Structure 1
Amino acid sequence: MPITVWGLAIAQALLASGNILLVSVSALIGQQLAEQAWQITLPVACQFAGLIAATLPAAHLMQRLGRKAGFVLGNLFGLLGAWVALQGLLSTSLGLFAAGTFLTGIAIGVGQQYRFAALEACDSGQHARAISLVMAGGILAAVIGPNLAVWSQGWHDDSAYAGAFYGLLGLYVVALLLILLLPLPAAIPLQPGERVRSYGELFRQPLLLAAVASGMIGYGIMVLLMTATPLAMDGHHHDFPATAMVIQWHVLGMFVPSFFTGRLIRRFGTRNVILWGCGALLLSVAVNLSGTGFWHYWWGLLWLGVGWNFTFIGATHLLTFSYRPAEKARVQGINEFLVFSAAALGSLFAGQGVVLLGWSGLNLFAVPWILLVLMLIWRLNTREPVAA
């Protein structure tokens, strides 16, 4: 595997570590700074808004200027966002802190292109493994992010959480230096007269529709049930250490399979791996519906993580067969926009969903969406698709 792919995997790990670090402290800081209850999750909402806002512009910018320029700009947004959020925290300004999380959200949105950049750094036969390797960086993030949130609590005398943003600044500095050193592919200019299909034409392809739906629903359902789990476990009288262990194993279920997902795709085909992902998501729902003991949550969330891994990595690989080189930015950008909009909706609906539907009702709500992906993928040609 080329060194560029390994470098992007490390960059992804640093990005995901910063994301987990933010998730660990943003709501707690919001609780400190908010004057009204609805403002507590404003910083988290602003982070998602920044991520979604960056997806389309980032893809088009990189097609015009190249991956290196785009990733450098993204990390600069991350550095600026961490500094602004720190100033908001120290000055007890919720608005300034939320502005900082919006800017870091932009950096996270730009960083979602790491897995696409990995495809350009290797031969087509290595694409599935390259995507898997970059996503495997999440394993390192699962260790660095939460621990950095704990270790940094003593780094600043005035605030227990200020140290986390010094840590975040450090992560973005290291990622910036790494990106500057990596031999990333240059921008490929469009050929004169080369036609780019409209979104309507592109989405009339069953393959593209299935790929985007797999990414959206796999990610959206994962975020929905993962975010609701702590609330459901608290409602069923599980203590916080038990909840933390369930979430930790869920994160491992999300990223550990990345070490072999690429090989499974190469051996059995992208279509089959996504179908197995749908099966894992349905198995997660079945376990969640079977009881509310600790091991029900543990196994349910573990299978939820595996299902996300297979559907998300499979969808990313499937997407690459749906566009011509000149259409890369258009398709990758709209895919990221739709996938992370679905994730944001899942996160926002999770709390209200537990209240309105209950834990069992929320799981049943997920079933038709998973079956929709299963149907769209099943209808594709059984042979592996060829590049557009």
Structure 2
Amino acid sequence: MMDGRTKLSILLLAGCQALMNSTTAIMISAAALVSLTLLGSDKSLATLPVTAVVTGTALATIPASLFMRKVGRKFGFLFGVSIGMMGAAICSYAIWIGSFWGFAVGAMLVGMYTAFGNYYRFAAVDVAGQANRGKAVSYVLAGGVIAGFLGPQIASRSAELILPFVYLGSYLAIVVLCAIAMLLISFVKIPRIVAAANEEGQRPLLEIVKQPTFIIAALSAMFGYGVMSLVMTATPLAMVGCGHQPGDSFNVISWHVVAMFGPSFFTGSLVNRFGEFRIILIGALLGVASITVSLLGLELVNFYVALILLGVAWNFMFIGGTTLVTTTYRPSETAKVQGLNEFLVFGTVATASLMSGQLQERFGWEVVNLGALPFLGVVILLALWNMVAARRRVAAG
């Protein structure tokens, strides 16, 4: 059981997660559409700012982990939010002067903020302890439910707030969200790793990553997030290209984000009951179901159902992978293993988001979805293999 102070800290971290994901939702909902107004006749780079976000996340992931090991998670989180605030300000100014590349630079800084914020879920494990790791991760990620409604709605309602500079108001709103996040972080109490843990012997990184458990944990998070990014990044462009209105794409993304984080209220309990491998397997199968619905038609209902299924698939694969990876390292190995895991995940996301715009522009929505299937297939096979291997070990005593 968790005491009151622990629950409060996890609640505050969930609030920080909600604010960070609201920022991400604004970027995803509006960035590609902003790019269409800033680019010339060639629109193939329309998803580049979204790619810049996840590239910034990937580049800053390992430095963020090592930085927080030195100064503590709390100061690291505050530093990360300040980077995000600066990035949002640069995005706003770029929209004001009509600079696509300036907008991309600001987006990359916002991504660096995300790199720090992605450690909120690991901070929750530090606060709650290993015995409550599944629930702690789930509760923090559940804060994203708020982001599902808040982010896209902010993007939609503030899009024309400062005309003729469409979406300028949306990016100024991110500055406000960052300020609120800094306030919440100031009240979070996160324990520091004790000296004894720091002095414990560390294994070579290669020895850690060769563990079958680490491999399936990392690939589940990598491919779950990568597939989600590949499809979601292209969704606004695909919907507008099919004749749907921009407002429809905001609503689809909104429900997608709710589906990403809504199951977090019970995913931790499901992990505790059924184990990480089963949850990862179910998530990958839901991903296949999402792709199937996308390929069946281009009606508005297809986009809604497919993106909702994709959100739940991401939730199961990402939470399952996150909780599983925390079992693969010692306390003294935390910074380097978490840093590597996050780098692998967001390196994959950056690649997927960049491919998304190119595939959508050159080959269309169907190819975007078909490109996701092999990665989901790999996770399904690995999860099944691990489950069969575990049963054999139990049978052998």
TM over 0.5: yes
Identify the residue that residue 131 of structure 1 maps to in structure 2. 137
Note closer, same or farther for the CA distance 1:279–1:93 as it changes in structure 2 (3 Å cut): closer
The answer on 1:216 being equivalent to 2:225 is no
- What is the CA distance between 1:383 and its match in structure 2? 10
The question of whether the paired residues in 2 share the 8 Å contact of 1:65 and 1:187 is answered with: no
Query: Take 2:196 and 2:109, find their aligned partners in 1: how far apart are those partners?
Result: 30
Find the partner of 1:279 among 281, 285, 292: 285
The question of whether the paired residues in 1 share the 8 Å contact of 2:56 and 2:112 is answered with: yes
The answer on 1:261 being equivalent to 2:271 is no
Note closer, same or farther for the CA distance 1:164–1:361 as it changes in structure 2 (3 Å cut): closer
Q: Which piece of structure 1 moves more, 98-107 or 223-232?
A: 223-232
The question of whether the paired residues in 2 share the 8 Å contact of 1:64 and 1:187 is answered with: no
Find the partner of 1:122 among 128, 132, 135: 128
Find the partner of 2:62 among 56, 59, 84: 56
Note closer, same or farther for the CA distance 1:190–1:163 as it changes in structure 2 (3 Å cut): farther
Note closer, same or farther for the CA distance 1:6–1:100 as it changes in structure 2 (3 Å cut): same
Secondary structure at 1:181's aligned position in 2? coil
Identify the residue that residue 16 of structure 2 maps to in structure 1. 11
**Residues 125-184 of structure 1: per-residue CA shift (max 9 Å, x gap):** 321111111111111112221222244346546634332233211111111111111112
- Please show how residues 85-164 of structure 1 align to structure 2 within 5 Å: 85-153=91-159, 156=162, 159-164=165-170
TM normalised by structure 1 equals: 0.89
The question of whether the paired residues in 2 share the 8 Å contact of 1:29 and 1:161 is answered with: yes
* Aligned residue type for 2:320: G
Secondary structure at 1:2's aligned position in 2? helix
**Residues 268-299 of structure 1: per-residue CA shift (max 9 Å, x gap):** 11111111111211222333344444433332
Secondary structure at 1:121's aligned position in 2? helix
The question of whether the paired residues in 2 share the 8 Å contact of 1:13 and 1:139 is answered with: yes
The question of whether the paired residues in 2 share the 8 Å contact of 1:75 and 1:172 is answered with: yes
- What is the CA distance between 1:300 and its match in structure 2? 2.4
Query: Take 1:27 and 1:300, find their aligned partners in 2: how far apart are those partners?
Result: 20
**Residues 233-284 of structure 1: per-residue CA shift (max 9 Å, x gap):** 4555555555444333322221211111111111111111111111211222
**Higher RCO (CA-CA < 8 Å; seq separation 6+):** 2
The question of whether the paired residues in 1 share the 8 Å contact of 2:32 and 2:237 is answered with: no
Query: Take 2:238 and 2:86, find their aligned partners in 1: how far apart are those partners?
Result: 36
Note closer, same or farther for the CA distance 1:149–1:239 as it changes in structure 2 (3 Å cut): closer
Secondary structure at 2:371's aligned position in 1? helix
The question of whether the paired residues in 1 share the 8 Å contact of 2:152 and 2:253 is answered with: no
- What is the CA distance between 1:319 and its match in structure 2? 0.6
Query: Take 2:98 and 2:362, find their aligned partners in 1: how far apart are those partners?
Result: 34
Identify the residue that residue 332 of structure 1 maps to in structure 2. 338
The question of whether the paired residues in 2 share the 8 Å contact of 1:271 and 1:382 is answered with: no
- What is the CA distance between 1:8 and its match in structure 2? 0.3
Count of residue pairs brought into register by the alignment: 385
The answer on 1:206 being equivalent to 2:212 is yes
Note closer, same or farther for the CA distance 1:232–1:159 as it changes in structure 2 (3 Å cut): closer
Query: Take 2:302 and 2:104, find their aligned partners in 1: how far apart are those partners?
Result: 36
The question of whether the paired residues in 2 share the 8 Å contact of 1:67 and 1:187 is answered with: no
- What is the CA distance between 1:113 and its match in structure 2? 0.5
Query: Take 1:157 and 1:230, find their aligned partners in 2: how far apart are those partners?
Result: 22
Query: Take 1:192 and 1:241, find their aligned partners in 2: how far apart are those partners?
Result: 51
Query: Take 2:244 and 2:156, find their aligned partners in 1: how far apart are those partners?
Result: 22
Find the partner of 1:371 among 360, 374, 377: 377
Q: Which piece of structure 1 moves more, 244-253 or 6-15?
A: 244-253
Identify the residue that residue 75 of structure 1 maps to in structure 2. 81
The question of whether the paired residues in 2 share the 8 Å contact of 1:34 and 1:94 is answered with: yes
* Aligned residue type for 2:118: Q
Query: Take 2:114 and 2:357, find their aligned partners in 1: how far apart are those partners?
Result: 24
Note closer, same or farther for the CA distance 1:334–1:166 as it changes in structure 2 (3 Å cut): same
- What is the CA distance between 1:343 and its match in structure 2? 1.4
Note closer, same or farther for the CA distance 1:135–1:30 as it changes in structure 2 (3 Å cut): same
- Please show how residues 221-260 of structure 1 align to structure 2 within 5 Å: 221-234=227-240, 236-260=242-266
Query: Take 1:307 and 1:165, find their aligned partners in 2: how far apart are those partners?
Result: 29
TM normalised by structure 2 equals: 0.87
Query: Take 1:325 and 1:307, find their aligned partners in 2: how far apart are those partners?
Result: 30
- Pairwise CA RMSD: 2.7
Query: Take 2:123 and 2:392, find their aligned partners in 1: how far apart are those partners?
Result: 26
Note closer, same or farther for the CA distance 1:115–1:289 as it changes in structure 2 (3 Å cut): same
Find the partner of 1:169 among 172, 175, 182: 175
Query: Take 1:23 and 1:159, find their aligned partners in 2: how far apart are those partners?
Result: 18
Query: Take 1:319 and 1:287, find their aligned partners in 2: how far apart are those partners?
Result: 31
Secondary structure at 2:165's aligned position in 1? coil
Query: Take 2:166 and 2:198, find their aligned partners in 1: how far apart are those partners?
Result: 57
Identify the residue that residue 3 of structure 2 maps to in structure 1. none
- What is the CA distance between 1:336 and its match in structure 2? 0.9
Q: Which piece of structure 1 moves more, 160-169 or 286-295?
A: 286-295
Query: Take 1:147 and 1:244, find their aligned partners in 2: how far apart are those partners?
Result: 7
Note closer, same or farther for the CA distance 1:88–1:304 as it changes in structure 2 (3 Å cut): closer
Query: Take 1:383 and 1:188, find their aligned partners in 2: how far apart are those partners?
Result: 38
* Aligned residue type for 1:282: V
Query: Take 1:60 and 1:330, find their aligned partners in 2: how far apart are those partners?
Result: 7
* Aligned residue type for 1:288: S
Q: Which piece of structure 1 moves more, 244-253 or 162-171?
A: 244-253
* Aligned residue type for 2:12: G
The question of whether the paired residues in 1 share the 8 Å contact of 2:146 and 2:258 is answered with: no
